[in-house]
Chain A
Amino acid sequence: MPVKTGTPSPSRRTAAEHAPIAAARSAVPHRATPGGATVIEFRGVEKRYDVGAVGLDQATFSIERGEWVFLVGSTGSGKSTVMRLLIKELEPTAGAIRVAGKDLAEITHKRVPYYRRNIGVVFQDFKLLPNRTVHDNVAYALQVTGGTRKEIRAKVPDILRLTGLSTKLHNYPDQLSGGEQQRVAIARAFVNHPPLLLADEPTGNLDPETSIGIMQLLYRINRAGTTVLIATHDNAMVDKMRRRVIELSHGRIVRDEATGLYVRDESTREFAVRMRDGLPESPPTVEQR
């Protein structure tokens, strides 16, 4: 976990007023923690699609263990390309990507599934298996790795309790709200306790209040030590979170800064309260548990 000695716990008011750009402009591209390992490293990565479009151009950055990083930029700026490169759905045209010290180019096609088991992935459209219950959707991630029934019985209810889905165990995805479906997706992504969690527009389909619930959940996971990389274009959310932001534009990194008012040791509840601040028209909590 990066140690940042900034304002320890700012009042909600000041927090809301602090836009990331106004905040301390950290020139350090990545905040290396002493003894912390680099989880993601992009070195001059370039991705050109067959049609000639540029997905990513000379991207270089690294993310340390336990970090929380936002990837922002308008549609087509290359956020999803970064995500798809990280799960090895795409191959870079040039440059090298290392995840947990391993060069992705060295992973053979056959080994890709095993590699993916170390990464939790959450998508905007949830990507749940439609003909499985909530429980079975989460259990599938364990079954894939050869998890035994005993393991499934032990882990699945736990993670569903954590994500607040204990009562929806036997529901099918189409019987759930968007927020609930995204919680299932997060539960599935996290059930193996991967060291890295990728979220591609996790709140893109959700209303602000539900989004906060999802972010809160991701925050809880991050606090447990998992590195979290979130692609989003929800600027209000990013501004409030005050975390490291990498901005992409036309495939180039135009900004990489750790916004100053980084809050450590904030409880999930405090976090939610702060996030909800400046959201005056917020309806009575539905997702919030």
Chain B
Amino acid sequence: MKVGFFLREAVRALRRNAAPSFAALATILLTMLVVGVFIPIVQATTGAANDVRKRVLVDVYLVRGATQADVARVRQTLAQMSDVKRVEFVSKQQAYAQQSKQDPAAFALLGSNPLPDTFRVTPKNPDDVLTIAAQLAPTSSGGRATPVDRAIDSVNTKRDDTKKILEVTRFVKLMAATLAALLIAASIFLIANTIRLSLYARRREVEVMKLVGATDWFIRWPFVIEGIVVGAFGTLLAILLLAIGKIAIIDPLASDFTLIAAPSTMPFTALIVVMMAAGIAISAIGSGLSLRRFLRI
């Protein structure tokens, strides 16, 4: 492969077709800029939603007089359930210590410890919370929940709140995913279309090359290299703008608001790598593929 020749051809094409090249560059720059802003936003949103969902727990209150053996048996039952990820035991003493720290005056008035032993059950999937609760305390025909173990006093899921949280977070995640999918699809179509247009303007050139006896790849390589150059350059500009934005706007804010520094967003270097790879790949593959139509002579 004559790399030097193909490189020179690509550079020549870029210089002689400055307007379409610039259009392609601008398209890639803009889409990459939007993608670069949007990826962290989607991630932060999803991360926040997941964070909220993680707080959904099943509280299993034991009866006041639960013995050591009762505790062990209930723990056993809970651990054996398939949907359960983690079981945390909070003894009445621990619960008392925690609660009285929050409101010492109220607990000083009480005198004794009114709190029961509690199991905090974390489900594998937040959506299973209600199933777990139902398994532990199935609703009998009378409409009253009867616990499966006599040591269990009641099972609390804050039913309404849980439902609301699950619904809202599911909606938020779905929205974020849909928007991300739409955005990526739109970017690919936009870039592909721009490349197509610039190739369409040069289809006669391709035809002539074929008539002179050029092989498909002899014609294609300069176009692919052109795509790589435009893709790399456009993405690079987008990354530069993003970096300026990050340094000038996000970083100063991050020290003030913990929300923006959400741990679940991608590190900036990883974002750069992903964007660069996507920008170059879409643009180069797009050029190579779009050319196929014009090579059929």
Query: Once the chains are docked, how many angstroms separate the CA of A3 from the CA of B278?
Result: 67
Residues of A within 8 A of B12 (CB): 131
Residues of B whose CB lies within 8 Å of any CB of A are 2, 5, 12-13, 16-17, 204-205, 207-216, 218, 297
How many interface residues does A have (CB within 8 Å)?
Answer: 21
Docked-complex contact A127 and B218, CB < 8 angstroms: no
Please tell me which one of the listed residues B2, B5, B204, B214 contacts residue A113 in the complex, with CB atoms under 8 A apart: B214
Please tell me which one of the listed residues A116, A130, A131 contacts residue B213 in the complex, with CB atoms under 8 A apart: A116
Docked-complex contact B211 and A116, CB < 8 angstroms: yes
Nearest-CB residue, chain A, relative to B12 = A131
Docked-complex contact B213 and A114, CB < 8 angstroms: yes
Residues of A within 8 A of B209 (CB): 129, 140, 144
Nearest-CB residue, chain A, relative to B215 = A113
Query: Once the chains are docked, how many angstroms separate the CA of A110 from the CA of B13?
Result: 25
Docked-complex contact A144 and B17, CB < 8 angstroms: no
Query: Once the chains are docked, how many angstroms separate the CA of A49 from the CA of B211?
Result: 21
Residues of A whose CB lies within 8 Å of any CB of B are 87, 89, 110, 113-117, 121, 127-131, 140-141, 143-146, 188
Residues of A within 8 A of B213 (CB): 113-117, 141, 144-145
Nearest first, the 6 A-B pairs at minimum CB distance are A117-B213, A131-B16, A116-B213, A144-B214, A113-B215, A127-B208
Residues of B within 8 A of A87 (CB): 211
A-B residue pairs in contact (CB < 8 Å), sample of 8: A87-B211, A113-B214, A114-B215, A116-B212, A116-B213, A121-B211, A140-B212, A145-B213
Query: Once the chains are docked, how many angstroms separate the CA of A203 from the CA of B216?
Result: 30
Residues of A within 8 A of B216 (CB): 113
Please tell me which one of the listed residues B13, B208, B214, B215 contacts residue A128 in the complex, with CB atoms under 8 A apart: B208
Query: Once the chains are docked, how many angstroms separate the CA of A96 from the CA of B215?
Result: 25
Q: In this complex, which of A113, A115, A130, A143 has the most chain B Cβ atoms within 10 angstroms of its Cβ?
A: A113
Closest Cβ–Cβ distance, residue B56 to chain A (whole Å): 61
Nearest-CB residue, chain B, relative to A123 = B211
